[in-house]
């Protein structure tokens, strides 16, 4: 493997690369040596991503409640197969040993032995039912922890309120048994990533609205043990006491974010980079899909950012891919990121209905 100088990497971080000439987007900004292309544009309202076997990628969508399977083809875009449809908000997906787990709004299901049945999938086996039916923050994110448990989010059914059973990350065994709350005080988390060495859960959280353009910051958090509370609704971003639910000194009682993100960037999916394609200094970095603001006077987000982590702490947070936002016009909204089988980075976009692929090739 080639060795790349960190100083060169930092100096060239914001050089521009372009998508291919057939694409209408012409000015994506990436670090030197990186390029971006359309992996597929046949996944309407693409949301969460999960690796299957042999390079297959599963994609959840909001279009017809569908789950797609992307089957790789040599030298061309993948074949897109509808794996499931007519589901109710199937946002969270996770794959393990031939089984696909899907988190809908009110339930989690398991599809067994899917590898050879992508175009004729097995029936869904509901392993957990009765999740909240409130429509505000109804998406569930889903991941599998190092303890082989399923972790899923339940966002608050409001902008700012206090409701028991909401604002949490819960976990269950693979068969749906043993349900318990893992973390509290989380407004709406739609991204989870597990650190390979420490086993800690890193997750994004969308801060409350209606406090202005620049507060509170959105959050990148780390849960290192069961039962931690991350402040909502009393404390925002580790330092802002809520005017209704907080009190003097309230923020001292809660776990603070590892990194305060820009306010209203709406961070969603995130992944640690564990591939071999990118230069060595990228390994272990955390890529974050920032969906973009919806009520800010000047738009922000609409990009993929990167957090560099050294000795368990974030040492740098900066954009990695920009270009979806031009002035106040947004051509796309990143939702999730995934390290693909070849080490490239896939990015889902629910506005354009696309999956992008970011690759690296040295000069």
pLDDT tens track for 284-336: 999 999 999 998 999 999 999 999 999 989 999 999 999 999 999 999 999 99
Rounded to two decimals, what is the model's pTM?
0.92
Check residue 10 and give its pLDDT: 29
With 70 as the cut, is the pLDDT of residue 127 above it?
yes
Q: According to the model, what pLDDT value does residue 76 have? A: 83
List CB contacts of 125: < 8 A, sequence separation 6 or more.
109, 110, 111, 112
Res 225 pLDDT > 90: yes
* pLDDT, average across residues 240-264: 96
Q: How confident is the model at residue 11 (pLDDT cuts 50, 70, 90)?
A: very low
Confidence of residue 26 (pLDDT cuts 50, 70, 90): low
Residue bearing the bigger pLDDT, 9 or 94: 94
**Is residue 187 pLDDT above 60, yes or no?**
yes
CA 140 – CA 58 distance, rounded (Å): 16
Contact of 153 with 141, CB cutoff 8 Å: yes
The pLDDT assigned to 175 comes to 97
């Amino acid at each position: 493997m080639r060795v790349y100088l960190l100083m060169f990497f930092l100096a060239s971080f914001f050089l521009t690369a372009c998508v291919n000439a057939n694409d209408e987007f012409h000015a994506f900004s990436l670090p030197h040596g990186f390029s971006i292309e359309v992996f597929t544009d046949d996944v309407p309202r693409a949301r969460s991503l999960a690796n299957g076997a042999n390079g297959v990628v599963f994609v959840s969508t909001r279009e017809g409640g569908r789950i797609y399977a992307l089957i790789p083809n040599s030298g061309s875009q993948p074949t897109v197969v509808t794996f499931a449809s007519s589901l109710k908000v199937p946002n969270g997906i996770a794959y393990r040993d031939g089984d696909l787990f899907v988190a809908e709004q009110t339930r989690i299901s398991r599809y067994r032995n899917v590898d050879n049945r992508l175009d004729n999938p097995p029936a869904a086996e509901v392993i957990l039912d009765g999740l909240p039916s409130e429509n505000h923050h109804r998406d569930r994110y889903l991941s599998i922890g190092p303890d082989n448990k399923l972790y899923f989010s339940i966002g608050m059914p409001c902008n700012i309120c206090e409701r028991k059973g909401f604002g949490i990350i819960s976990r269950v065994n693979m068969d749906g048994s043993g349900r318990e709350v893992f973390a509290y005080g989380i407004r709406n988390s739609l991204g989870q990533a597990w650190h390979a060495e420490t086993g800690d859960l890193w997750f994004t959280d969308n801060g409350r609205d209606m406090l202005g353009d620049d507060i509170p910051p959105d959050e990148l958090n780390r849960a290192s043990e069961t039962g931690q509370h991350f402040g909502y609704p009393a404390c925002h971003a580790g330092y802002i006491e809520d005017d209704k639910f907080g009190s003097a000194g309230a923020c001292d009682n809660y776990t603070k974010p590892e990194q305060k993100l820009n306010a209203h960037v709406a961070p969603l999916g995130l992944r640690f980079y564990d591939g071999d394609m990118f230069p060595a200094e990228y390994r272990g970095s955390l890529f974050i899909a920032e969906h973009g603001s919806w009520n800010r006077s000047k738009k922000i987000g609409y990009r993929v950012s990167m957090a560099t982590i050294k000795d368990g702490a974030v040492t740098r947070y900066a954009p990695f891919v920009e270009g979806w936002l031009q002035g106040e016009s947004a051509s796309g909204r990143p939702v999730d990121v995934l390290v693909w089988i070849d080490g490239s980075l896939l990015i889902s976009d629910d506005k354009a209905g696309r999956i992008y692929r970011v690759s690296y090739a040295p000069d």
